[in-house]
Amino acid sequence: MNEYIAGTLALSMVPRGHCVRVVGVLISTAEGNRLRELGIVPNARLRVAHENGSSLLIEVGQAHVIVGRCMAHWVRVRFDPDISF
């Protein structure tokens, strides 16, 4: 899959407190599989609960997961104003 999907941005670029919908996970290695196991799959709703320099705390449904910023770069998302947590 191409790294660029029109109208999307990397999860690593989403500011704290914003809600997004996953469009795609652009890595097919074991790391990509791990993201999918955590519920970061196409059409999933996410919220960036906290961020620091190297990682993001993401709300995925009722769960909270920590994702490294490098891994978050491979998750393409779109802002979705209809999402609420």
Average pLDDT for runs of 10 along the chain of length 85: 73 94 90 91 96 94 93 92 66
SS (H, E, C) 4-66: CCCCCEEHHHCCCCCEEEEEEECCCCHHHHHHHHCCCCCCCEEEEEEECCCEEEEEECCEEEE
Prediction pTM value: 0.86
* Residue-level pLDDT at 56: 96
Quote the pLDDT of residue 1.
45
What distance in Å separates the CA atoms of residue 14 and residue 54, rounded to the nearest whole number?
A: 14
Assign domain 9-79 to a CATH class: mainly beta
